[in-house]
């Protein structure tokens, strides 16, 4: 019996000291058919019939114990090996050794996309129109006939006596009204480039982007206009923004309003951005003038509508703190790369 205990201790000791290679040798030495454990079976012959099963059991137990110890050791050795390998592969996580190139949208494209997505989510379509436009759509149908004083407000780029680079995206609205006069209601936004004969400086650009909105249907009210604009301003600037309407004048809306929002920097407390007033002028709006509806062939007794227009540059400048509008048209990538979203 001593043989068992001694053999077990001897084997476990050897396993404990083994490395990868010697562990395989030990497996042969102890557990192979001619190995030390199996050879114990030779003693079976001398045993009585009652003792034989007991002895067999003991040999089996010894075999299992050594095998288990070997498996365990093997696992330990493999794990150590893996750890060593992993350690040798350690990287410097602070090093940037691969910089995938990424460009980004122009800030004006970014703002336009944001506005488009807000309104698409509310079921609006995005309408477009020609930039080289007839004065019919740019002015006349927008209730601004030849000689109207409002034509004086915007010095425009005419290309012939009746065509111009459009001075306002209102021209798109007028086309939509006409095209959809018999397919009401209308819910569109109209983004696009517009042009005015202004000399370029920090706050003026002869080319800029507007986005106008137009809703025409039954029972559309100023309150609907307010709710819609409030939603847009809150999405774009700040969830707690409030808006207020100030009376204004546009030939194609009646009544007309300038819309102020609470300053997104100071939230209405007053700061340099809002010149201490807490309010920032952000867009123009109003109820579509009955003359405009009638000219498009829409019954102004039955249908009403609202319209608004926002300058994309103005929104971008306010939102991102841009102080010179010309930066938006210089396309210096050191400027452009600041608008990754």
Partner 1 sequence: MKLSLNWLSNFIDLKDLSVEQIVDQMVECGFEVEAVDRMSEGTKLIVGKVIECKDHPNSDHLHVTKTDIGSEVLDIVCGAPNCREGLKVIVAQVGAKLPGGEIKASTIRGENSNGMLCSLKELGIDENLLPADSCSHTGIEELDDRFNVGDTDVLKKLGYDDTILDVSIYANRPDCLSMYAMACEMGAILSRKVTLPDFAGKANIGTKSDFKLSSVSKNCPHFLAKVVNNVTIKESPEWMKQHLRANGVKCINNLVDISNYVMLETGQPLHFYDLRSNPSKEITVRDDYEGKYTALDGIEYDIEKGDLMITSDNKPIGIAGIMGGDNTKILDDTTSLIIEAALFDHAQIRRTANRLGLQTEAAARFAKGLEPMAQNKAMDRAVELLIELADAKDFEETVEYGKPDYEPYEIKETLSHLNALIGKEYTMDEAVAVMHRLGFECRVEGDSFITSIPSYRASDLKIPEDIDEEIVRLTDFDDLKSTLPLMPQTVGKLSNIQNIRRVIRDILTGHGFYDTINYTLVNKKYIDESLLPSGSAVEMLSPLSDARRYTRTSLMNSLLETLSYNLDHNNENVDLFEISKIYSDKGEEERLGIIMEGSFISDKVKHLEVKTDFYVLKGLLTQLLDQLGFEMNGRVSVHENELDVRHFHPYQSAVLMMDNKVLGIFGKLHPNYLKSMKLNDVYYAEMMLDVLSDAKPAKIKAPVVSKYPSISRDISLMLKEDVKVADLLSSIRKAGGKLVKNCEVFDVYQGEHIEKGYKSVSLNIVYEDKEKTLKTEDVNEVHDRVLNDLTSRFDAKQR
Which range touches partner 1 (CB under 8 A), out of 3-11, 50-58, 67-75, 218-226?
218-226
Q: What 3-state DSSP class applies to 323? A: coil
Angle between helices 20-31 and 2-17 (to 10 degrees): 160
Should residue 160 be labelled a site residue for partner 1 when binding is judged by CB under 8 A?
A: yes
* Per-residue tokens: 44: 């079976």
Which range touches partner 1 (CB under 8 A), out of 20-28, 62-70, 250-258, 314-322?
250-258
- Closest to partner 1 by CB, 50 vs 146, is 146
Q: What is the DSSP letter of 204?
A: -
- Closest distance of CB 265 from partner 1, Å: 21
Which range touches partner 1 (CB under 8 A), out of 5-13, 17-25, 49-57, 282-290?
282-290
Closest CA to 290 of 227, 188, 179, 216: 216
Among 23, 31, 58, 336, binds partner 1 (CB under 8 A): 336
Should residue 327 be labelled a site residue for partner 1 when binding is judged by CB under 8 A?
A: no
Q: State which of positions 167-196 bind partner 1 (CB under 8 A).
A: 185, 187, 193, 195
Which range touches partner 1 (CB under 8 A), out of 55-63, 128-136, 167-175, 314-322?
128-136
Bridge-partner residues for 310, per DSSP?
211, 283
Q: State which of positions 91-120 bind partner 1 (CB under 8 A).
A: 95-106, 108-109, 113, 116, 119-120
Bridge-partner residues for 158, per DSSP?
164
* Per-residue tokens: 56: 């067999």
State the Cα–Cα distance between residues 126 and 113, nearest whole angstrom. 11
Q: What is the DSSP letter of 289?
A: P
- Closest distance of CB 246 from partner 1, Å: 6
Q: How long is the chain?
A: 341
């Amino acid at each position: 019996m001593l043989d068992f205990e001694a053999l077990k201790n001897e084997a476990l000791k050897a396993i404990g000291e083994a490395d990868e290679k010697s562990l395989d040798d030990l497996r042969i030495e102890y557990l192979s058919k001619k190995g030390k454990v199996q050879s114990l079976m030779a003693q079976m012959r001398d045993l009585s019939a009652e003792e034989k099963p007991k002895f067999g059991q003991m040999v089996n137990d010894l075999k299992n114990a050594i095998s288990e110890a070997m498996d365990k050791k093997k696992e330990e050795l493999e794990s150590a090996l893996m750890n060593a390998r992993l350690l040798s592969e350690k990287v410097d996580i602070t090093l940037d050794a691969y910089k995938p190139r990424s460009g980004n949208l122009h800030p004006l494209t970014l703002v336009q996309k944001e506005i488009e997505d807000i309104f698409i989510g509310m079921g609006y379509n995005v309408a477009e129109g020609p930039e080289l436009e007839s004065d019919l759509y740019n002015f006349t149908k927008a209730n601004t006939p030849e000689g109207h004083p409002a034509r004086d407000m915007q010095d425009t780029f005419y290309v012939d006596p009746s065509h111009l680079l459009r001075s306002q995206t209102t021209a798109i609205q007028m086309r939509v009204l006409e095209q959809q006069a018999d397919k009401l209601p209308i819910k569109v936004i109209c983004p696009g480039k517009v042009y005015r004969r202004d000399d370029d400086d920090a706050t003026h650009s002869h080319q800029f982007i507007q986005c106008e909105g137009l809703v025409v249907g039954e029972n559309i009210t100023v309150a609907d206009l307010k709710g819609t604009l409030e939603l847009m301003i809150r999405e774009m600037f700040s969830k707690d923004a409030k808006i207020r309407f100030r009376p204004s004048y546009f030939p194609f809306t009646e009544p007309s309003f300038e819309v102020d929002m609470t300053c997104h920097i100071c939230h209405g407390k007053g700061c340099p951005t809002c010149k201490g007033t807490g309010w920032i002028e952000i867009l123009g709006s109003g109820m579509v003038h009955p003359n405009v509806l009638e000219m498009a062939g829409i019954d102004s007794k039955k249908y009403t509508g609202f319209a608004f227009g926002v300058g994309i540059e103005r929104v971008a400048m306010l939102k991102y703190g841009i102080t010179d509008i010309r930066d938006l048209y210089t396309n210096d990538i050191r400027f452009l790369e600041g608008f990754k979203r």
